[in-house]
Amino acid sequence: MTELNIIGGIKNRTIKDSMTLEDLVRYIRNPDVSHQEKVELARACGKGSQKYEYIKKNEIPCAILNFTHSKGYVSGSTVHKPTGYLYLDVDNTLDINLTDPHITAYWKSLSGTGYSIVVAVKGLTKRNIKAATKEVAEALDLPFDPAAISLDRLTCISYDPNAYFNPNAEVYHIKSEDNKKVQTSVKNSNSTMVLGQDCTFRKIRVNNLTDVIGALDFNGEPTYDFGSAGIWYADVHYSIRGVQEGNRNRVMYYTVRQLRSLNHWCSEERMYQYVRGLNRNAFKPPLPESELRVIVENAYKGKTPKPVHNKWRRFVYNPDYDLTNKQKRSLVITQINRDISNNNTEKILDIIQTWNFKEHGKITIERLSKLSGLSVRAIKYRSEVLKEKIKKKNLDHKKNNY
């Protein structure tokens, strides 16, 4: 029986232990007291709260259900072999049919608002993980999030005294073939304008964002947030309107220089053939071939230039996730709203900490609302975080003054 990798947590991907699925379910039914208390505290704070997220990311060990991993670490690049199971994360609903004979195990998720479901499967590979998850979910009539699929997908080890395990579950034979990705064109990063076609199988890079992403540990999350500092990187992009007459020679020269800096291997002739496509698609009107040839020759004189980091972004996306543009926008908006909420919470806590009882009297929700500029509803929304601090501050003041 394949043993599952166990890691320290979302932010600690080193493999700490291994156990069978049956042993994992047994532990989820009856964990040690410390683990049970952490899960119950997270549920009490509520999914999405600051405390819940802290516990989830820092204090709860995780199991890796789809694949075993090598090198003592879990990431998209350390996948070793399939476990014989497929993990499905059903979020925000408990109203689902869990009677299918292919279901090997299930238990309530960390938040208590959904289920972690494990299906016995055969035919799962690194290349068909996304298609296979969709196939199995649809076959078993289970909801699933297509954005929540990755090679290093993990599940927080929860607590559920009613966790289920079926050692005789039927094995589901996956029909989905390996996913195949075909690169047909390189696109403008500001629009859908095709930049140009390389005349060989080796793709000419138009940015070095993959260098940035390759060095990141996404911790299984679909996005990485650099915060307000963001990250600068080198990129070749044009306005949707293209490059107009009067700027064409200058823009093409700097384009070739930037492309040369990003593609050290590319010869002058190969570059010329590539930028002919850019010239046709993005330059209005296209430069004459004779001028284009001279521009490329001049751009290839001297040493290979260093990339110019001319583009900024705050979020990058985990390449192991198959995210649509709509899903990317949703993830970004959710994170920004969470930041605003956290900042407001810190603002309220600062007001409580520096409260002037002589001027404002006893701390109340209404007075906090007035001083912070936030609505009473916004203050009450944070009552779980604020209640004890308000109570302690008021009591301390009463003891010191009476």
pLDDT in tens, 125-151: 988 988 899 999 989 888 877 767 888
179 domain residue, yes or no: no
**For a pLDDT cut of 90, what percent of the chain falls above it?**
45
Please state which of the ranges 10-19, 239-248, 308-317 shows the lowest mean pLDDT.
239-248
Q: Residue 181: pLDDT above 90? A: no
The reply to whether 16 and 121 lie within a common domain is yes
Place of tokens 């699933």: 144
The residues with which 280 forms a beta bridge, in sequence order, are: none
SS3 234: strand
pLDDT at residue 147 in the model: 67
pLDDT at residue 398 in the model: 84
229 or 305, greater pLDDT: 305
182 domain residue, yes or no: no
Q: Residue 199: pLDDT above 90? A: no
Where does the pLDDT of residue 178 fall: very low under 50, low under 70, confident under 90, or very high at 90 and above?
low
147 or 17, greater pLDDT: 17
The reply to whether 209 and 357 lie within a common domain is no
The reply to whether 39 and 63 lie within a common domain is yes
pLDDT at residue 179 in the model: 46
Q: Residue 353: pLDDT above 90? A: no
Q: Which of 173, 208, 228 is the last residue of a domain?
A: 173
pLDDT at residue 200 in the model: 46
Torsional sign, CA 52, 55, 58, 61: negative
Contact yes or no for 62/11 (Cβ under 8 A): no
pLDDT at residue 378 in the model: 82
The overall average pLDDT reported for the chain is 86
pLDDT at residue 304 in the model: 93
253-264 pLDDT per residue, tens: 999 999 999 999
How is 181-200 classified by DSSP, letter by letter?
A: -----EE-TTSS-EEE--SS
Q: Which of 117, 145, 173 is the last residue of a domain?
A: 173
pLDDT at residue 235 in the model: 93
Q: Residue 185: pLDDT above 80? A: no
Token pair of 70 as six digits: 């090598």
219 domain residue, yes or no: yes
Q: Which of 140, 173, 206 is the last residue of a domain?
A: 173
List CB contacts of 32: < 8 A, sequence separation 6 or more.
Answer: none
pLDDT at residue 1 in the model: 63
The reply to whether 119 and 218 lie within a common domain is no
The reply to whether 281 and 369 lie within a common domain is no
Mean pLDDT throughout 265-272? Answer: 92
240 domain residue, yes or no: yes
Where does the pLDDT of residue 251 fall: very low under 50, low under 70, confident under 90, or very high at 90 and above?
very high
The reply to whether 213 and 362 lie within a common domain is no
The reply to whether 251 and 281 lie within a common domain is yes
The reply to whether 312 and 329 lie within a common domain is no
pLDDT at residue 331 in the model: 86
Residue 322 to residue 324: CA distance in whole angstroms: 7
Mean pLDDT throughout 227-250? Answer: 87
Residue 181 to residue 197: CA distance in whole angstroms: 17
* CA nearest neighbour of 394 among 365, 342, 357, 367: 357
Instruction: Give kind and range of the element (H or E) at residue 319.
Output: none
211-228 pLDDT per residue, tens: 878 778 787 788 888 887
pLDDT at residue 275 in the model: 93
Token pair of 105 as six digits: 């195990």
Q: Residue 198: pLDDT above 60? A: no
Q: Residue 184: pLDDT above 50? A: no
For residue 23, count other CB atoms closer than 10 A to its CB: 15
pLDDT at residue 399 in the model: 83
pLDDT at residue 238 in the model: 79
What predicted TM-score, i.e. pTM, was given to this entire model? 0.52
The reply to whether 345 and 390 lie within a common domain is yes
347 or 241, greater pLDDT: 347
How is 323-353 classified by DSSP, letter by letter?
A: --HHHHHHHHHHHHHHHHHHHHHHHHHHHHH
pLDDT at residue 195 in the model: 47
Residue 234 to residue 116: CA distance in whole angstroms: 41
- Its domain, for residue 19, covers 4-173
51 domain residue, yes or no: yes
Number of domains forming the structure of the chain: 3
180 domain residue, yes or no: no
Instruction: Give kind and range of the element (H or E) at residue 117.
Output: strand 115-122
